Structure 1
């Protein structure tokens, strides 16, 4: 960053940047802060939604504090640092997984499939006494068929299951 790239980071989450700031700095701040005003100074406001969206796009969390520390001639306000850390900690504590359920006719069949070594690569465990949590259902289907177990064709979607549909 250039010498004119200075940011005055306020305890009220405002970030004041001179108009002479480089476009690189403006772009970097715009990834996680809202540009609210453009006068002699550019006024950005640190925003949780903007910050979380930057994290979703792959911006490393530590880059936010690093950038602000680098641009600020003064130590960052403690309340701001703590809040950013709290926002960052709330990100990525949960995730969605693409999994499927293999519904079996008996608990014994489900337990047998769930515990068999030959299916281990595809089985995560039991969801209920008759439902096995699996991944890559079509590959597992081929393996089951080789063992003489023939699931119904296709895969029921969530909407069909909610309606109680059969195939």
Structure 2
């Protein structure tokens, strides 16, 4: 659930670029996976690349879920968070988990009879009982018609059942030699039987440390975590997530529409220990640089004759279109009003060239 949240935050902030084959670019995959919460021990193929889309299995699950629920949309070449996605993150984590599990059951597990049978077997297991995946494979093999299915069955179960249910918190597992033992969790029991999942109270505070790190519980309220992702970079995701305030992260926040005052007010309002003085000074120093350099979309009005340039500069009608002077014969003018200026120059018999000359084009 929290990783799907992180995925949507990333899509909203940076956009997710895909190849023509709909796979996420490797560099973006790595940036996303670094932000995900990952168990210290995982099944052997937990991060295996899905050949159909060339995305790691768990990332592919989140991507397909978000697409199906219309939580993301395409904007030019990127996938970005949709309005539906921003509304979805406000749901309780239990409702989000139920959405993900229902999607997996209806659109992933339902396409594979072996996974459906395995899910039924897991469903009747006592909560504290461990069972070997090989034992589940043996039971399902009794229904197999050919040998091909049997040969790939274990890998399929490991990938489509163990990985996905582990990722949803539905089962825990342990490696026993070449086999995997699984056990259904309390959350798994509730998911499998369609029982309500207990919600928990969201936390409304975090800790800003003098080393510019922000420590936030995984139960931090969604709206606070959403804002925090804009102004601080997630370095480690676990039960206690670690964010880092830096010049780059503050720049990301500022260009996303947050003002310096809003950033400081947000941190002061929700930090249990306030903002250390050195951190506040750093944020102000970084923010002070913002906007000191900028690009302007303007045009160059060039005169070959210095006398004509002087006339244009001193003309009350034409002079108002001049934004700046580069040289005695070169003026900066507004692109937006370039056609008006061209018409005015024509009316006053300056006979300008009708077309716009691109840089490097020779003029006889």
* TM-score normalised according to structure 1 size: 0.88
After superposition, where does 1:120-139 map in structure 2 within 5 Å?
120-135=319-334, 136-139=337-340
Q: Distance in 1 between matches of 2:202 and 2:239?
A: 17
Matching residue of 1:154? 355
Matching residue of 2:363? 166
Per chain length, whose mean CA-contact separation is higher, i.e. which structure has more relative contact order (CA < 8 Å, sep 6+)?
Answer: 1
If each structure's helix is expressed as a fraction of its own residues, which one has the higher value? 2
Q: Distance in 1 between matches of 2:338 and 2:280?
A: 46
Q: Distance in 2 between matches of 1:26 and 1:3?
A: 11
Instruction: State the 1:132 CA deviation.
Output: 2.2
Change (3 A) 1:57 1:75: closer
Aligned residues: 162
List alignment gaps of at least 5 residues for structure 1.
none
Instruction: State the 1:55 CA deviation.
Output: 1.1
Q: Distance in 1 between matches of 2:219 and 2:322?
A: 58
Q: Distance in 2 between matches of 1:129 and 1:50?
A: 43
Instruction: State the 1:3 CA deviation.
Output: 7.2
Matching residue of 1:92? 291
* TM-score normalised according to structure 2 size: 0.42
Q: Helix, strand or coil: the match of 2:266?
A: helix
RMSD of aligned alpha carbons = 1.8
Q: Which has the larger radius of gyration?
A: 2
Q: Distance in 2 between matches of 1:117 and 1:58?
A: 39
Relative to structure 2, which stretch is displaced further, 106-115 or 76-85?
A: 106-115
* 1:16 is the counterpart of 2:253: no
Q: Distance in 1 between matches of 2:229 and 2:295?
A: 28
Matching residue of 1:63? 262
Q: Answer yes or no: is the 8 Å Cα contact 2:230–2:256 preserved in 1.
A: no
Q: Answer yes or no: is the 8 Å Cα contact 1:34–1:45 preserved in 2.
A: yes
Instruction: State the 1:50 CA deviation.
Output: 2.2
